[in-house]
A and B are shown apart, each in its own frame.
Chain A
Amino acid sequence: MTDIHKTDQLAGKVVLITGGTSGLGRWTTLVTAAQGATVVYSGRNADGAAETERRLKEVSLEAEYLPHDVTKEDEWQSVIDAVMKRHGRLDGLVNNSGVSRLKPMDQLSLEDLEFLLSVNVDGMFLGTQHAFRVMQSRGGSIVNISALNALRGSPNSTGYGMAKAGTTHLARAAAIEGRKYGIRANAVHPGVLFEDGDKPSPGAISLFGEEGAQKFVQFNIDTTPLGRLGHPRDIGTAVAFLLSDASRHVTGAAVSVDGGRMAGEYLHHGIKSQK
């Protein structure tokens, strides 16, 4: 059941969310639409889009889907063109599409690294650049979904951490250049999320196997100060705040929604004690 709180915080705003076809992007689409925005969500997976559509209908909300590979410049052009043609403005962009490949440094291939950089950095750069072009006249808000791996070193995340550090820094740089146009840019760093109880995600199972994924979940619960995993809705709520006028003086921020992990050195400490 999709439990969601409806408000008018984003009424009148047109928001584009990449990767709205799964997980965090789907919940961000739900929360943003529930807060009154006109939402366009994009992504590569049509089946995922159908599921997002179903979840929206379940709570009597609407959003529009556009097929979109964020690594392709021409596709950015057509997605932005479509939004502008349909709605005449773009107030918010959520650069959510991202990928992860966790491997020890000596096993990470250049192809792996290029894949990580292409979606997490190239995709968000293209999005930011295209959004800038249409937001310059009236301002806007860009939110990049990054990861805690961008802020701290962690095992098996050489490539992922580098790419997400790029994601975070892109927001900071866009904040500085965007200031004269009234364009804000911020990065959000989610902790480890669950959607269905404390069951491991399909992604974690494919990475670690069934038993390993269960251990991964428990490890993350144990190393999160608040003692529980996050829900994608919590991240969506922070994203909605950053898209809204309530955050009108918040720009260039690295926002962690992580159950307190960044308050100390839990990420690092937990990994040390895991060994």
Chain B
Amino acid sequence: MCGRIAPNSRRAYSPAMTDLSNKVAFVAGARSSIGRACISALRSAGAQICAVGAGDADRNLDVDVYDAESWDEAFDTCVKTLGRLDVLVIPTAGKSSPPIEDAALAGFVSTHRAMVVPAFLAQNRGIVAMRKAGNGGAVVHVIPAAARAGLEGAVAACTASAGILFSSKSASLECAKEKDGIVVNAVLVGPVAGEPQLPYPKDVAAVPPQAVADAVLFYATDGAVYMSGMDLPVDGGFLAG
């Protein structure tokens, strides 16, 4: 089943079609390959970038990802130094899950905490900061495709992924109700090339980080004008079959 995908695809996402000049993007996790690919794509589209952790950004910020105030400080710094906050990218990597036989709650809680809490805080505190900045904006989660499909050996990572996905859908409705001009969407990724994996079936092809960044860029620009609460699989068809 691990087939070719678009063999005629060699062109990268051209900066000409997505103009983010004069826009500021915040990448809530620069260390992963997806974070790095997003920074590179956003930069080539002209955005100025704040990033959590080391990376090729205009501002690199340290954040205690389990602490709401730490996120608030980071978003404040972003708006103070770069002047605005238009795009917020929140990449969440899948973490290993305890086996079903594990009676202790600690493993389940730890996977949930590692995946859900940073994404939840980044989303909520980011939306608060975007509202304060007042230009509207696009929040884009990058979540394992396990949000919509069970995986053997991933009982905690699947529920955590689904939790983030549905938190993003709820946030999209709250933002729409506030008429704050903020849309919230998600990209669901299959196994990512070069990253530690959730236990996807062996025949699921790995997705290059750049393809994920291209989808993020679509959401961050004119693609998201009328889209909110949507999840787009970038998974080579894993969720379709």
B230–A250 touching, CB < 8 Å: no
B173–A139 touching, CB < 8 Å: no
Whether A231 touches B8, Cβ cut-off 8 Å, given contacts A9-B14, A260-B173, is no
B172–A225 touching, CB < 8 Å: yes
A191–B226 touching, CB < 8 Å: yes
A257–B227 touching, CB < 8 Å: yes
CB B15 to nearest CB in A, in angstroms, measures 10
B17–A138 touching, CB < 8 Å: no
CB B168 to nearest CB in A, in angstroms, measures 9
Mark contacts of A214-253 with chain B using CB atoms, 8 A cut-off: 1 yes-contact digit, 0 otherwise: 0000000000011100110011011001000111111111
Residue of A nearest to B222 (CB): A237
Whether A182 touches B14, Cβ cut-off 8 Å, given contacts A237-B222, A241-B218, is no
B103 at the interface (CB under 8 A from A): no
A8–B16 touching, CB < 8 Å: yes
A35 at the interface (CB under 8 A from B): yes
Residue of B nearest to A266 (CB): B173
Q: How far is the CA of A91 from the CA of B234 in the complex (A)?
A: 20
Classify chain A: how many residues form its interface, as a range: 35 or more
State the interface size on chain B (CB cutoff 8 A).
48
B240–A175 touching, CB < 8 Å: yes
A176 at the interface (CB under 8 A from B): yes
A251–B222 touching, CB < 8 Å: no
B151 at the interface (CB under 8 A from A): no
- Scan residues 224-241 of chain B and give those whose CB is less than 8 A from a CB of chain A: 225-230, 232-237, 239-241
A197 at the interface (CB under 8 A from B): no
Residues of A within 8 A of B227 (CB): 234, 238, 256-258, 260
- Scan residues 150-188 of chain B and give those whose CB is less than 8 A from a CB of chain A: 169-170, 172-173, 176-177, 179, 183
Mark contacts of B77-108 with chain A using CB atoms, 8 A cut-off: 1 yes-contact digit, 0 otherwise: 00000000000000000000000000000000
Whether A263 touches B5, Cβ cut-off 8 Å, given contacts A8-B14, A35-B17, A227-B179, is no
Residues of B within 8 A of A7 (CB): 14, 16-17
Query: Which of B6, B16, B215, B217 lies at the interface centre, i.e. has the most chain A CB atoms within 10 A of its CB?
Result: B6
A102 at the interface (CB under 8 A from B): no
Of the residues B172, B215, B230, B233, contact of A246 by C-beta under 8 Å: B215
Of the residues B6, B176, B232, B239, contact of A248 by C-beta under 8 Å: B6
A172–B211 touching, CB < 8 Å: no
- Scan residues 189-241 of chain B and give those whose CB is less than 8 A from a CB of chain A: 190, 207-208, 211-212, 214-215, 217-218, 222-223, 225-230, 232-237, 239-241
A249–B226 touching, CB < 8 Å: no
B234–A249 touching, CB < 8 Å: yes
Q: Which B residues form the contact surface with A (CB < 8 A)?
A: 1, 3-11, 13-14, 16-17, 169-170, 172-173, 176-177, 179, 183, 190, 207-208, 211-212, 214-215, 217-218, 222-223, 225-230, 232-237, 239-241
